[in-house]
Structure 1
């Protein structure tokens, strides 16, 4: 029980620190969302001055309340945050940041989440088999997948687009779905799902190819180390079936460190694959983040960073608790 209380207290303090930094960092940067919006409107109007009413309205919506100190702004920020209010986007005014993130989040979770799970399963299964059959031709899979992992994301994505999408026409080039009028009735939902699935294949393949090598190499090395443990040698000396020794004794224990890494990887699913989403113009959180940074949309940047940070912390917290259940030694030494 003491282990779980310590971990809960640690993550509670970490969440407070992350939210506080998310509040302070944009205020340390030059300018503010209201000033940026006023500058954009002035440029759009050809340099003509804006009326005091328009400036007052923009400051009321995007700027801090007049006469409030930093501490008062901090308390207001926490109050809005607890009510689910992340502010108004200056680049997509008057859209709320919560609505923009909610619209992009499902695309990223489905694409990056599915690709992460696939790469993890493929890497763990292949790594366990390669480690079990070490010294055979299967060891050649390790340098092949390592080379694929070292290839930059954007280069691999561009190659897949050029070959499979442009030259062969097997997949769509960009976007998350086809922009056309879907048929009326129940067929519309099915047509949309088919279109979204088709558009997600190339980005998902890019992520899987680029990440499966790390899982395979880590699992292979842990499998080789586990094969020399006393309990595995004893199981083999008892005459147990090789498949039982491989799955119940070797692979089961060798996969524990990879499970911790998988929890962290799941936390970063919400961040999306920024380069992949940008190359494929995929409507996910990663592309939304790039648009926020390029447009100096502080409210949107704050919202995206906060969602990513809290998700990563939540994933680590859950994995810490599960790790304590899987490996009791963690509870005694923590």
Structure 2
């Protein structure tokens, strides 16, 4: 039996704990709040983040990092902007042989680094992997069919992780393209905010389809610069995740954008939420990467201007629509 620890007891972490337990593994679910761990143990559910879903007694909740580190596999599901802090706290207890699987999607706001780069900086001796795809936590927890990309530089590590996490209804597909497996998941969060704005502002399905398509072009341009493979970006962790997140109000980023499109104020939206919308924090980091590599990412720039630049939604939309007409093969919206 493989010992799997999930670091982060939000909705996605809880869903992955359920997946791991169904695979016959011994599972620990770590939360930084002792009261939260006690509530999960007492109620056999995570009513705070994934209400209505029962948890097997085989999933053990804990707030003790040292206990959580005693595992054969560690799934890191802390929000992207907290990965460095969480992994730094975890590092003293780590066995260097234990694979670290990044399950958060984003770019570190301060440094502009991908999650794999943060992992390598903090825990340079551990094998690393990326799990990313078109996965809503509640559907995974309910056992509905889904697939994901699982990226690891070493095929042996990837094969072992696929065996540990794979189920008939949860199908990980292996790749060694660690960079490509991260880019789609990070950028799509920002693009989902844009699509939510389109929905909330009643700009029509044509506009949303155009945003998804031209947003995919932005993912491909960034991926090319960072060394990702196009087939990875067109797969589950790229196009698949983009389509899901840009099409459903169940997406936290889409619903946040919809509220902005309806005229709500960002600060008030965030105050009303207990969960993180990663695109809010990734937008500025992506814009810095675009400037660094001289890449045109006008949709991401427009979202960042709305979120962090004080630009009105209507003004950002007008600016996008006023861009010059281009050959579809070339850069630009």
TM band (smaller chain): under 0.3
The TM-score, its normalising length taken from structure 2, stands at: 0.26
* Relative contact order, higher structure (CA 8 A, sep 6+): 1
User: Relative to total residues, which structure has the larger helix share, 1 or 2?
Assistant: 1
The TM-score, its normalising length taken from structure 1, stands at: 0.26
User: Relative to total residues, which structure has the larger strand share, 1 or 2?
Assistant: 2
Structure with bigger gyration radius: 1
